[in-house]
Amino acid sequence: MHGNTTNTNNSENTLLQGITGYKNLNRFSVAPMLDWTDRHCRYFHRILTKNSLLYTEMVTTGAIIHGKGDYLAYSSEEHPVALQLGGSDPMALATCAKLAQERGYDEVNLNVGCPSDRVQNGRFGACLMGDANLVADCVKAMQDSASIPITVKTRIGIDEQDSYQFLCDFIDTVSTKSECEMFIIHARKAWLSGLSPKENREVPPLDYPRVYQLKRDFPQLTMAINGGIKTLEEAKHHLAHLDGVMIGREAYQNPTILTHVDHQLFDPQLPVTDPIDAVRKMYPYIEAELSKGAYLGHITRHMLGIFQGIPGARQWRRYLSENAHKAGADLAVVEQALQFVIRD
């Protein structure tokens, strides 16, 4: 994964092999998803793909600084892994970025895209698009306290502020005043009122060409695209125009897609991960977590979609769903479920 920068614009099938810096780290990533991309999920995804960048769920600065739990916990096997922060107080964000670096995270990402009411009430997420100077101050404060990459994930607009000029002004202000070099653009605007977070992922139309144009107008910046991407063929098309692709729900609900990422997007010499092997590679982790008091179902819920499209997948899902949450459920449950998809 080291070497010289490769030109991405030759064709949509061009593979970036041996890229350095941001482009390498963000070529393909799994999106931060609340209640989904917890540390169990990320451990499983890392077994499926060695090169993808994995993101935590969004964690608020208040939870990290004042919470009783360890909101920065992760397994060393998850690298490269990025922490996504929610907040708008530069000092609090700086504190959390410093802590993230001390804990070994590879990147810190500021959430400027989540449209939920709860997030707005805390004055972070997509509403921050309306205050580019504050976003720049937040990023600059984090850069001053940590040397790891500080990146921004944002939308293409909010409410009636959805012109291309508004988006350009936002990117220009943040990148100039903070020296932020990496942006992940969710190719939809966000409605801050009237739509639920789920509707905000589906109702506002996708505008990929706008993100492509943004990259052309800011060629010095590294940009990844997010929103509605379901296949690696689509990812390759986007990579002809941009530096990176982030996939969310499709990667979670159909993690089989991740078994092909290393081979198709990084190095054709790398193997495609076998789903059955991947499940069994989880066994030592599952045993270790169960010994610490974790519940089997909290781990296996992230593995339900791994056999999508394979005979026996429905029985695998049903058996795990019905049995993994029972008291005393252990590896025997997973092994029994696996028998439904193993073909002699």
18 assigned ligand-binding residue? no
281 assigned ligand-binding residue? no
Q: Which residue has the tokens 């209640």?
A: 35
315 assigned ligand-binding residue? no
Q: Which amino acid is at 233?
A: E
Strands (E), the chain: 28-30, 53-60, 81-86, 107-112, 150-154, 182-186, 222-226, 244-247
298 assigned ligand-binding residue? no
- Structural contact between residues 52 and 261, judged by C-beta atoms closer than 8 angstroms: yes
Q: State how far the Cα of 173 lies from the Cα of 84, in Å rounded to an integer.
A: 21
Q: State how far the Cα of 161 lies from the Cα of 166, in Å rounded to an integer.
A: 7
The answer to whether residue 114 is catalytic is yes
How far is the CA of 245 from the CAs of 52, 240, 251, 269, in angstroms?
Answer: 10, 11, 12, 21
62 assigned ligand-binding residue? no
46 assigned ligand-binding residue? no
290 assigned ligand-binding residue? no
186 assigned ligand-binding residue? yes
226 assigned ligand-binding residue? yes
32 assigned ligand-binding residue? yes
Q: State how far the Cα of 125 lies from the Cα of 254, in Å rounded to an integer.
A: 27
Q: Token digits for 263?
A: 């081979």
Q: Which amino acid is at 43?
A: Y
Q: State how far the Cα of 23 lies from the Cα of 344, in Å rounded to an integer.
A: 42
Q: What is the per-residue DSSP string for 10-23?
A: S-TT----S--HHH
Instruction: Select which of 96, 114, 138, 180 is catalytic.
Output: 114
Taking alpha carbons only, the member of 215, 134, 221 closest to residue 180 is 221
249 assigned ligand-binding residue? yes
Write down how long the chain is.
344
Binding residues for FMN: 32-34, 84, 153, 186, 226-228, 248-249
Q: Which residues are catalytic?
A: 114
Would you list which residues are annotated within the binding site? Answer: 32-34, 84, 153, 186, 226-228, 248-249
